[in-house]
Structure 1
Amino acid sequence: MTRTRFLASATRALFGVLVATALVLPAGCGHNASDEGLSAQDIYGTSDPGSEPTGVATSGATTADSRSPFDDYFLDAEQMRTVEQARIQLTTQCMKEKGFEYSEDIDEAMSTVGDSTAGLDGATWGPVDVEEARRNGYHPETEEDGGSDQDAAASSQQQPGYIDALVNDENTGCEDLAYAELGYDDEWFSQIATYDTARAAANESAVADPEAVQLFADWSACMSRKGYEADDPRSLVNKYLDGSQSGNPNAEERETAVADAECKADTSFAATLTGVINRYETQAVADNQATMDTIKRLSSQILERAQEVLA
């Protein structure tokens, strides 16, 4: 993938936090916890480790200590809102100069990124809240579409040359230039790649930890007592989110989700798993202190430049 395409998709979605090497869950059921690597998105329900934990409907339970130790080195949600406002302003001005009308609402831009949650991501691990499970099964609650605003944006993007003006392989697209102007440069991406490798390794080691392995076994035993055979909650998420029942959970799915959520509560699944991962990530931060300090410095510079743009 070219740097431009990455900036157009992953960078905006991650608010500048690269998670390119994150390990993802393969399709299928019955996964062994020791075989799985987890990304920040998998664990915390966020693509941005720098945002403040605010909690989202899909995660259910909350815990006081579920922020990642990596979070302290990235901008928080309010600061990233400033960066996004500056990015939108720079992109809008650039597109106007190229003869195109570009419009993006800051709230919509922020909504494209999963909030950092005090708990596990429901889209990865399934519900931990029984009432949510009863309502939605394994289909996380989503906000209504923007309707006419989205239609207008789609219409603009159909103009000849619009996409190339916005983002292209030569890094001359307006969004490319906006990110570069804010400070998302080669040094940033190099440091973020090192960070992501370290975090992914920490997550992978965490789920192989005896405490995590036992947690999966306890959850599985609880499910077995309720009449369900599964050794990993993610296998159930995969089963019910494979597109066969998109957005319309049936009674079977809801019943399974309720049992799943009840077993998560009985085993303190969310708090225990995030606690184990937190220990490994704390060590990963210490082992990569120079990288994390550099990321913190570069993040501060990006925020300062965004504030200058908006002044």
Structure 2
Amino acid sequence: MATPRRLIAPLALCAALALALGVTVTVSGAPADQAPAPPTRADTRTPPPENDAQPGALLLPLDAYKFTALDTHTIASAEDVLIRACMRERGFDWEALPPPSARHADPPNLRRYGLTDPADASRYGYHLPPPTPAQERREAVWDARDELPPEQRLAAFGENGATGGCWGEAHAELQRGVTAPDMSVLVRYISQAYDEARRAPEVVAVLDAWRACMAGAGFDYADPLEAFNDPAWGESPRPSARERAVAEADVRCKRETDLVAVWSGTEERVQREVIRENPGDLASFGAWKDGWLAAARATLDRD
């Protein structure tokens, strides 16, 4: 049985968002607005803090209420501090994950509207680039945890091998005094805003222009996400020549039609309306996120 490789609540939200936004995984390692269903390993790239002005960053208003991969890595590192102390009391060692870092990070929402980077399109098609050294180091720690001896595994993760033991105690400690809201409400707000923006006249028009551009290149796709999720891309661990050609045309057509700017601008407007109309719900989401992260950072500062 695999260990809990993701933080359950924040990344359950990401998984639900992936389904709500229609971004599926058809390629090994392809993004689904960041996550398959938890619990599983935390192997996404670490994005920068939300106020980072990194070139290529695409920030939307409701991002302020979501957990980034940097947030989840911060919480996981704080849990490791608590787990290590708990495991030592039980006579075991505990190898911690590498510390969280925003270096060499992809910008937020990098593939929200499909592929956008021409270099990635030419080299990898719709497949993800190879894992970074930082990703590989994290994976090595998780792989070692999967191979823990039974007695040590029981102490770490409890009888169900996933959410009990020292991990369960650490997870609960970091959320002590913090009330978790109904995150399905935030999922609904984000997915409804996405759908509303998708139906807006300016987005419909720019998608029509993108589709015509792709047809001119010899490719028939209804929209960028259909191209992104073509099942053919999942038939090989490496991109085919056709996959790269479609990806290159996709990115070029996005740039020629200004698709990302139009679509994201419309979604930003709709999300701001959601925030204005639902201040109480959004305040509870923000308080939960801020409280959990504050406890994690305090734990790391004491270590």
What TM-score, normalized to structure 2?
0.73
* Correspondence for 1:130: 118
Judge conservation of contact 1:18–1:193 (CA < 8 Å) in 2: yes
Following superposition, the deviation at residue 99 of structure 1 comes to 4.2
Following superposition, the deviation at residue 144 of structure 1 comes to 4.2
Q: Which blocks of at least 5 consecutive residues in structure 2 are unaligned? A: 27-31, 36-43
The alignment-based identity, stated in percent, is 24
Deviations 1:145-165, CA, capped at 9 Å, x for gaps: 666875565344322145444
Residue 60 (structure 2) aligned to one of 57, 68, 82 = 68
Following superposition, the deviation at residue 309 of structure 1 comes to 2.2
Deviations 1:68-109, CA, capped at 9 Å, x for gaps: 1123446788776654432221122223334443323234x6
Residues in 2 aligned to 1:237 and 1:231: alpha-carbon distance in whole angstroms: 11
Residue 287 (structure 2) aligned to one of 285, 297, 300 = 297
* Correspondence for 1:238: 229
* Correspondence for 1:36: none
Following superposition, the deviation at residue 129 of structure 1 comes to 2.5
Judge conservation of contact 1:198–1:288 (CA < 8 Å) in 2: no
* Correspondence for 1:174: 166
Q: Which amino acid aligns with 1:154?
A: D
Segment of structure 1 superposing worse, 258-267 or 234-243: 234-243
Judge conservation of contact 2:126–2:244 (CA < 8 Å) in 1: yes
Judge conservation of contact 1:50–1:74 (CA < 8 Å) in 2: no
Residue 288 (structure 1) aligned to one of 252, 274, 278 = 278
Residues in 2 aligned to 1:28 and 1:165: alpha-carbon distance in whole angstroms: 34
* Correspondence for 2:263: 273
Residue 143 (structure 2) aligned to one of 154, 175, 182 = 154
Give the direction of change, closer, same or farther, for the CA distance of 1:307–1:245 in structure 2 (3 Å limit). closer
Q: Which blocks of at least 5 consecutive residues in structure 1 are unaligned? A: 30-38
* Correspondence for 2:50: 52
Following superposition, the deviation at residue 219 of structure 1 comes to 0.6
Q: How many residues align?
A: 280
What TM-score, normalized to structure 1?
0.72
1:214 aligns with 2:205: yes
Give the direction of change, closer, same or farther, for the CA distance of 1:139–1:78 in structure 2 (3 Å limit). closer
User: Over aligned residues, Cα RMSD in angstroms?
Assistant: 4.0
Following superposition, the deviation at residue 290 of structure 1 comes to 0.8
Judge conservation of contact 2:193–2:271 (CA < 8 Å) in 1: yes
Residues in 2 aligned to 1:136 and 1:49: alpha-carbon distance in whole angstroms: 20
